[in-house]
Amino acid sequence: MKENIKQELREVLFQIELIKRKRVQEFLLRIGLTPGQGQARILAFLDSHSSVTQREISDACMLDVTTMSRTLDKLEKQGLILRERDPGCRRSYQISLTGAGRKKAEEVQEGFAELEEILCAGFREEEAAELTEQLGKVRKNLLDGHSIPNGKADKYKNEKMNDFK
């Protein structure tokens, strides 16, 4: 494969990520959520799960436990989630959405649906499916992949990232 094609792919993917991140940040701020802390992902996950542990949320949303704890504190202070002691484990909490949290999760889901429409604009269904398949290969390459320190390819595995395979 030609080097300029590889460079162009890297640059296009980088630009897409920056633009997507900017649009998502604007949306999250508009609906009163803090960008970059996983609040939207947590609310969307809880919207489809009645009551779960912090560990389950952390694994599903790919957030480290420390970030997760601070984020849950903020969501609880906003009245969006409820934490209750897990009767089966004294060190664990069951986390669920409040009524306000469910409404906020609906806003998040609507925003995600709008983003999906924007991402797919101008594509026929089969083109979007093909692009998704091709990007899945890129994701697999990165997950199976190689780190770039010292310009050498080092194998690494991240258990949480393996969830995306």
Tell me what pLDDT residue 66 has: 82
**10-residue averages of pLDDT along the chain (165 residues):** 89 96 94 91 93 89 85 95 86 92 96 94 97 94 76 46 51
Torsion region of 151: left, alpha or beta (phi above 0 gives left; psi -120 to 50 gives alpha): left
Domains and CATH numbers, the chain: 3-121 (1.10.10.10)
